[in-house]
Amino acid sequence: MARARTYSSRPVLTVNLTALADNYQYLASLIGGARMAASIKADAYGLGSDVVGRALYGAGCRTFFVAHAGEGKLLRTAIGAKASIYVLSGNTPQDTAIFFGSKLKPVINSLTQARDWVKAIKDVNHPPRTALHFDTGINRLGIPNEEVDVFANDKALIEALDVDLVMSHLACAGDREHPLNAQQLGKFKMISALMPMVPLSLANTGGIYLGAEYHFKLVRPGIGLYGGKVTNTPDTEGVKPVVELHAPVLQIKTVKKGETIGYNASFTALKDMKIAIVSAGYADGLPVNLSGSDKRIVTSARLGKHRVPVVGRVSMDYTILDITNYKGFVELGGKAVFFGEDLEAQSAHSQMINYEVMTHLGARCRKIYVNE
Ligand SMILES: *Cc1c(COP(=O)(O)O)cnc(C)c1O
């Protein structure tokens, strides 16, 4: 059996930094005079926040959003002192020292956080500035309706917080027709009018596609930077794929008609078959729901320019491909490719959202950053 000169069994996640930078510039081209920030929480959606952060910094990004102080600390080390890093979860008692040590800006989501922060910075020289996050209808984290008046009227509190951004978050930005978009926009305008002079931010990736009214001073896309599509008209989104999962071929074998393939014998060979066992499974982020059974072949992997069906159940470390009809040459160590241009389709087949698929990919795979 022929094989690549050298190869590892470990699957590889390729992250195309050129496509990432192109997506940054593409989204920037849609927002007129507004500024770009990058949402880089959860290790940049699984892609590695240090390398991704540096690449976006190189593309011109100077404002970043993470979820937790610990994520902000790692990002600060990666990108240096100059950029703003906001922590979406806000300040929590255990993490205050990290905020000061790494110059992280808390996103204040409640009166409790506001008062805790003001107490914490009492004796601190040049504490980080803050963002206020108002809940305008998503009913997730964010300052609730009943606290808006306190923020609007307590001048001393606002002054002590040293607010440099007022933000909110859209619940249904990917759905242009959803009435909640306009409702949240209206409410955001009303609330932010109580704090004039402070820059405003409302749009995630979907919000950018909703148009100029939603852009304000700063937009904070995540998934679009990483090549994910979010609207119900994906063909209108000009982002490029950033991520591919490369699974090396570890073995090729024949299966006789009537035999079964994989766990639970969920696939039966209706004829003699040739299969390739490739090294990537659900522990690498390949969803079990991509399994092919007697009832349904769900998806295919790419071998070079061709597609070969996934047969049998996706297991923890391995996936099985039907290469019976494949005319090309399959060598040991050759790469079967998942996601990339298929991210949206394969996410849909997995009954998962693309965000969810993407964040699962970074756990075990070796990451290789491609700079074309
Ligand atoms: C995750 C997140 C974003 C980015 O959302 P995308 O849909 O990935 O563009 C922006 N703002 C907030 C508050 C978020 O939690």
Mutate to test the pocket of ligand 1, among 52, 65, 135, 181 (most ligand atoms within 8 A of CB): 65
Distance from the Cα of residue 201 to its chain's centroid:
19
- Whether the CB-CB separation of 275 and 295 falls below 8 Å is answered with no
Strand partners, 5: none
**CA gap 314, 304 in Å, rounded:** 21
End-to-end CA distance of the chain: 32
- Any idea what DSSP says for residue 142? S
**182 has pLDDT over 90:** yes
pLDDT digits (tens, 9 = 90+) for 91-134: 999 999 999 999 999 999 999 999 999 999 999 999 999 999 99
Quote the CA–CA distance of 40 and 221 in Å, as a whole number.
9
pLDDT class of 5 with cuts at 50, 70, 90: confident
The architecture CATH gives domain 243-370:
Beta Barrel (2.40)
- pLDDT at 291 > cutoff 60: yes
Distance from Cα 181 to the centre of ligand 1, integer Å: 15
Task: Give 165-181 pLDDT, tens digit per residue.
Answer: 999 999 999 999 999 99
pLDDT band of residue 372 (cuts 50, 70, 90) is low
pLDDT at 360 over 70: yes
Q: Please name the residue whose Cα sits nearest to atom 6 of ligand 1.
A: 222
pLDDT at 201 over 80: yes
pLDDT grade for 75, boundaries at 50, 70 and 90: very high
Share above pLDDT 70 across residues of the chain, in percent, rounded to a whole number: 99
- Cα separation, 183 vs 258, whole angstroms: 59
Q: Residue whose CA is closest, atom 11 of ligand 1?
A: 204
Q: What is the pLDDT of residue 24?
A: 98
The class (CATH top level) of 31-229 is alpha beta
Question: Given 26, 187, 189, 263, which residue is catalytic?
Answer: 263
Whole-prediction pTM? 0.97
Tell me: the pLDDT tens digits for 236-268?
999 999 999 999 999 999 999 999 999 999 999
Residue 326 has pLDDT above 90, yes or no: yes
Where along the chain do its domains lie? 31-229, 243-370
Say how far apart CA 107 and CA 104 lie, in whole Å: 10
CA distance 369 to 279: 20
Q: What is the mean pLDDT of the chain?
A: 97
Is pLDDT at 366 greater than 60 in this prediction?
A: yes
For residue 145, how far is its CA from the centre of ligand 1 (angstroms)?
A: 21
Q: 265 C-alpha vs ligand 1 centroid, how far in Å?
A: 41
Helical pair 17-28 and 49-58, crossing angle rounded to 10 deg: 50
Q: Which residues contact 123 (CB under 8 A, 6 or more apart)?
A: none
Would strands 335-339 and 300-303 be described as parallel, antiparallel, or unpaired?
Answer: antiparallel
Residues within a 6 A CB radius of ligand 1: 39, 88, 169, 204-206, 220-224, 230
